[in-house]
């Protein structure tokens, strides 16, 4: 069945709206914030954690047994290992790989100088101007998948764009996967919360891509958190056994609130995250050498008033720059950052924090950026307007990264100086006429009109404009084509699994 | 009189509230976006403009005569000169200098690894939540000077925080100078719009600082725009003759809207700005070798819909990074960027654009940043709330720049790992107790509470919180001490000049 569906899927997969580049090919140099001495000190700390402190692999005897068999030092469930061995295992992971999309024009390359933006992941709540804040549901989820599909600055669908809380936890992964696979043709992630759900994800991807393609290529990835500090639970190792043993991608992200899940210092938290993720990378390479792996880092600062996580602050900003450099040294693709904020609404706080967070994320060279759009309230809430507002700004980062500064002869415009006198203007000169249409990135939601025009148009703030644009995008949405046979096979799979599974809300 | 006032001014100039550092001492490395070939190509373009295209020095025979006498090639009012001569003149300007403040603890160092933030300059309108948008007046001006004085993240007072439109143009510089000199003790700029106003500024500075101090030190600066493209008018050269010949600072800023006052390409506009500013720097060094000079750059992109300038966009972002590198190569202090936006209000657009603009400004190494806070509506309007919102965020940049990533032994927190087990937490460990109070920058206006607490407190957006903080700051404001004799001398000077000058509204 899977093979049949796959055999004919390439007939008509291109259509209007595919962006010029399915991901960002960076030409801008990297920003190296650490000198050699700082790097060595941080790498020494990573090695010390791996060798002397150790990382616990808990509640998964099979993982511990593999480590024991391969010669690691096991003490209870704490794994310690020579750092050079762990580094040599990490070196088996590809520094660049492609995640194939259902539409081949949308396949993304992850690692190296490539950067991929994906929306928020995991929020139980959603918010928009009309509906306010409410639990996420499948309707909202589908609309968020549609918006992500439509927006040219989002390269990847992510996965849990919001939690569809109206579907039992035991079954919602099936509906989410079906939505990503049919309402969009961008690449996406799969479920990880339980081994059988990870398996369902890989099985459904096999229906779309076929067994052979899947054996040779990454077509789906799982994204998992370690239980910082220093703890890898079975959610991680089981996801690795499902995704990595099939050659599919695994993104492993220590989430560290400095002072809670890591020391209250940024350097120590960065090193700890690096050690945790590298130990999982090594585990993955023991399972299947060469399996695609993304080293993740999610570091948050803390409010002293309440202990709440804070975002867009100098500590996570500098951590983005530092982890970017460390990941490049390790030769591993990096996930970090995003358009992060603690604000509850799409106000200036949300935008300041998201922009500082995302500016550093993009300059840091993050290869895969989850939460690049839509994040509100420390990740508890997906904003419909916020999704589109953030995505609008991503186009600016895309231009900075991919184009840098063009100093070609045409860019230097010497001919224009033959036409324009001192105090004159370049508005009508030949160079301007040749170039003005591509000279500037103009985000759809930024209003640059004068105050009179803006007032005449109703004095709308950016939220109001984003709200109108969300509605317009959803009204104009058309699903990308999919072969009937593939769709039916997916529907059959989902129906069968829903019959087999109990309704469970945990 | 000036001498008498000065003689006793140092008696009591310190008081509470002086920030730990009056400017930012950067330890973070610079971000070098251009490779050697790109730099050489841009510098070649700068040289070509200086040598072959030329810069007009208009309506000021004295300036042209100086150029002629020194051997430049004069064609009408266009000055062309060997680029290596211009570069050698620019090399006479100090790469680092100090602008002394009335309170010596607030003196700022400009150039090198030092970065100084100042508020918006020149807006005819002001806006706050209660009063809406209206013409600026002296009351608003004084409040903006007070807020700038009070905010620890603003190092420098700037000058025209808004235009006080209720005072005749011919006299308002006197009231503005008196406000800066008495309501604040931070360094500030002087007037430039006419030679006599520049002279009044220098004369009033002499009352505050005394002739001797002024002869040896920079205590005031003028900030002037060239008339891009390729035109330097007498506002610039006369300001240079007043400020620079007295050894005071001059900031020269080509304002280029790409496609209008420069070619529609970022690289060409950056090179043109560099050539214009360097020619003025060379002129200044002919007037007085070693006079402090700040090379300015203000580049804006354009909306294709309306031709209006746009801000926070990828083109000015990349131009900040590029001009930072070029200015360092030329050994000149740099002014660029700011918290810029085209938004009319303090909404998410304003914050996204301001943050991307300012993040690149700070990383670029801008040594003197005018418009670092308060800018709205393409510079036409000073926002009271925006001033405080932007300034709040500047503290984050200050920490990134001054601290970078601390990898000291204490930062690596190895002792903490002896206390914390896998899956545990660092909240109470000794390392956290030692460090938590200084671990995180927490801006006053960011709300990181959970949604319930935020709703209980009235669901205020950042604007509303900023409005409350503006009121609180102004209510608590206390003027810094000033010797009666100085104040009286300033008052006398202002009164005398106001009697001499006609009321003129242009």
Residue B214 covered by a domain: yes
Burial A325-353 (b: 16+ CB within 10 A, else e): bbbbebbbbbbbbbbbbbbbbbbbbbbbb
B-chain residues within 8 Å CB-CB of A429? Answer: 263
The beta-carbon neighbor of A356 closest among B49, B317, B396 is B396
CA dist B416 and B411 (Å) reads 10
pLDDT recorded at residue B15? 35
Chain B environment of A264 (Cβ under 8 Å):
413, 426, 431-432, 435-436, 439
pLDDT per residue as tens digits for the range A189-216: 999 999 999 999 999 999 999 999 999 9
Q: Match 């100039």 to its residue by tokens.
A: B13
CB-CB under 8 Å, B314 with A397:
yes
Q: How confident is residue B306, by pLDDT bands cut at 50, 70 and 90? A: confident
Do the beta carbons of residue B83 and residue B322 sit within 8 Å? no
This complex has an ipTM of 0.95
| Cα A210 to Cα A214: distance, rounded to the nearest angstrom | 6
Domain assignment present for residue B435? The answer is: no
Domain that holds residue B108: 15-29+90-403
What's the CA gap between B297 and B322, in Å, rounded? Answer: 11
Helix (H) or strand (E) holding B221: strand B221-226
Q: What is the mean pLDDT of chain A?
A: 95
Distance CA B162, CA B382 (A): 6
Q: Do A446 and B342 touch (CB under 8 A)?
A: yes
Residue listed under structure tokens 């000291």: B408
Q: Does residue B477 lie in a domain region? A: no
Mean of pLDDT values over A411-426:
97
Report the domain count for chain A: 1
Structural domain contains residue A455: no
Among B352, B362, B347, smallest CA distance to B313 is for B352
Distance CA A128, CA A464 (A): 10
What kind and span of H or E run contains B255?
strand B249-257
Q: Are strands B96-99 and B108-111 parallel, antiparallel or unpaired?
A: antiparallel
**Pairing relationship of beta strands A221-226 and A132-135 according to DSSP bridges:** unpaired
A381 has a pLDDT exceeding 90: yes
Substitution target in B53, B325, B349 with the highest count of A β-carbons within 10 Å is B349
Virtual torsion, Cα A350, A351, A354, A356, nearest 10 deg: -130
Interchain proximity A350–B346, CB inside 8 Å = no
Q: A138-150 vs A384-403: helix axis angle to the nearest 10?
A: 30
Q: Using an 8 Å Cβ cutoff, are B382 and B338 in contact?
A: no
Shortest distance between the Cα of B76 and any Cα of chain A, in A, equals 12
pLDDT given for residue B20 in this prediction = 55
Chain A residues near residue B356 by CB distance under 8 angstroms = 355, 359, 393, 396
Structure tokens at A124: 């139980």
Residue in chain B closest to A272 (alpha carbons) equals B412
Helix axes of A138-150 and A462-476: crossing angle, nearest 10 degrees: 90
Task: Assess whether pLDDT exceeds 60 at residue A13.
Answer: no
* Chain B residues near residue A404 by CB distance under 8 angstroms: 33, 318
Structural domain contains residue B124: yes
Asked whether residue B240 is domain-assigned, the answer is: yes
Pairing of strands B381-383, A96-99: unpaired
Question: Residues B366, B367, B372, CA angle at the centre, nearest 5°?
Answer: 65
Question: Cα distance from B291 to chain A (closest Cα, Å)?
Answer: 27
A10 CB-near residues (< 8 Å, 6+ apart): A104
Residue A104: which of A215, A251, A250, A213 has the closest Cα? A213
Would you say residue B402 has pLDDT above 60? Answer: yes
How far is the alpha carbon of A195 from chain B, nearest alpha carbon, in Å? 21
b/e map B364-388, b = 16+ CB within 10 Å: bbbbbbbbbbbbbbbbbbbbbbbbb
CB-nearest to A405 from B318, B404, B414 is B318
- What's the CA gap between B22 and B157, in Å, rounded? 12
Flag if B314 and A396 touch (Cβ within 8 Å). Answer: yes
Look at residue B453 and tell me if it is in a domain.
no
How close, in Å, is residue B105 to chain A by CA atoms? 26
Q: What is the pLDDT of residues B183-226, one digit of tens each?
A: 999 999 999 999 999 999 999 999 999 999 999 999 999 999 99
Q: How much of chain B exceeds pLDDT 90, in percent?
A: 94
Residue B142 CA to residue B163 CA, distance in Å, equals 11
Q: Which residues of A touch B423 (CB under 8 A)?
A: 56, 58, 227, 229-231
Phi and psi, residue A175, nearest 5°: -65, -35
Write out chain A residues lying below 8 Å of B303, CB-based: 440, 442, 448
**pLDDT value at B5 more than 60:** no
Q: Give whole-number Cα distances, A25 to A367, A399, B395, B439, in Å.
A: 10, 10, 33, 36
Helix (H) or strand (E) holding B131: none
Q: Which two tokens stand for residue B132?
A: 């809406």
Please answer yes or no on whether B309 and A378 come within 8 Å at the CB atom: no
Q: Please tell me the pTM assigned to this model.
A: 0.96
Report d(CA A263, CA A191) in Å as an integer.
30
Q: Which of A309, A351, A406 sits opposite B348 (nearest CB)?
A: A351
**CATH number for B280:** 3.20.20.480
Q: Residue A111 in contact with residue A149, Cβ under 8 Å?
A: no
CA distance B225 to A360: 31
> Three-class SS of residue B263?
coil
* Tens-digit pLDDT profile for residues A66-89: 999 999 999 999 999 999 999 999
List of chain B residues whose C-beta atoms are within 8 Å of the C-beta of residue A451: 133, 344, 377, 380-381
Which chain A residues have a beta carbon less than 8 Å from that of B407? 34, 38, 41-42, 267
How far is B212 from A399, CA to CA, in rounded Å? 52
Token pair in block for residue A411:
């860019």
Rounded to whole angstroms, the Cα distance separating A166 from A484 reads: 27
User: Among B208, B230, B227, which residue's Cα sits nearest to residue B217?
Assistant: B208
Asked, for residue A8, whether it belongs to a domain, the answer is no
């Amino acid at each position: 069945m899977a093979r049949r569906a796959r055999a004919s899927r390439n007939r008509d997969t291109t259509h209007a709206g595919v962006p010029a580049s399915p991901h960002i090919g960076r030409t801008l140099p990297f920003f190296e914030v650490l000198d050699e001495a700082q790097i060595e000190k941080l790498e020494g700390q990573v090695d010390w954690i791996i060798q002397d402190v150790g990382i616990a692999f808990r509640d998964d005897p099979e993982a511990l047994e593999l480590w024991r068999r391969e010669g690691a030092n096991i003490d209870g469930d704490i794994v310690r290992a020579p750092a050079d061995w762990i580094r040599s295992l990490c070196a088996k992971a590809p520094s660049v790989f492609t995640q194939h999309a259902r539409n081949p024009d949308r396949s993304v390359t992850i690692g190296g100088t490539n950067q991929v933006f994906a929306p928020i992941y995991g929020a139980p709540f959603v918010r928009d101007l009309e509906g306010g804040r409410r639990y996420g549901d499948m309707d909202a989820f589908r609309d968020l998948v549609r918006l992500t599909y439509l927006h040219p600055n989002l390269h990847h669908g992510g996965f849990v764009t919001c939690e569809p809380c109206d579907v039992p936890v035991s079954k919602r992964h099936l509906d989410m996967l079906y939505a990503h696979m049919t309402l969009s043709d961008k690449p996406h992630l799969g479920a990880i919360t339980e081994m059988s759900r990870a398996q369902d994800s890989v099985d459904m991807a096999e229906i779309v891509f076929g067994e052979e393609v899947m054996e040779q290529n990454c077509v789906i990835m799982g994204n998992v958190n370690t239980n910082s500090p220093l703890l890898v639970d079975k959610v991680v190792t089981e996801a690795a056994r499902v995704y990595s043993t099939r050659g599919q991608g695994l993104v492993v992200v220590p989430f560290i609130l400095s002072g809670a899940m890591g020391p209250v210092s940024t350097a120590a938290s960065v090193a700890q995250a690096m050690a945790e993720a590298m130990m999982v990378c090594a585990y993955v390479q023991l399972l299947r050498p060469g399996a695609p792996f993304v080293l993740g880092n999610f570091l948050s600062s803390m409010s002293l008033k309440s202990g709440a996580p804070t975002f867009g602050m100098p500590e996570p900003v500098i951590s983005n720059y530092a982890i970017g450099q460390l990941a490049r040294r390790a030769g591993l693709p990096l996930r970090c950052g995003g358009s992060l904020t603690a604000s509850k609404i799409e106000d200036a706080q949300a935008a300041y924090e998201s922009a500082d967070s995302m500016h550093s994320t993009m300059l840091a060279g993050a290869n895969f950026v989850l939460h690049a759009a839509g994040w509100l309230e420390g990740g508890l809430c997906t904003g419909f307007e916020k999704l589109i507002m953030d995505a609008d700004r991503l186009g600016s980062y895309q231009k900075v990264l991919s184009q840098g500064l063009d100093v070609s002869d045409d860019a230097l415009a010497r001919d224009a100086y033959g036409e324009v006198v001192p105090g004159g203007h370049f508005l009508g000169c030949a160079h301007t006429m040749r170039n003005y249409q591509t000279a500037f990135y103009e985000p759809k939601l930024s209003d640059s009109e004068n105050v009179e025009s803006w007032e005449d148009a109703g004095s709308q703030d950016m939220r109001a404009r984003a709200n109108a644009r969300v509605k317009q995008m959803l009204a104009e949405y058309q699903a990308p084509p999919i072969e009937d046979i593939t769709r039916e096979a997916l529907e059959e799979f989902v129906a069968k699994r829903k019959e087999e599974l109990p309704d469970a809300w945990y």
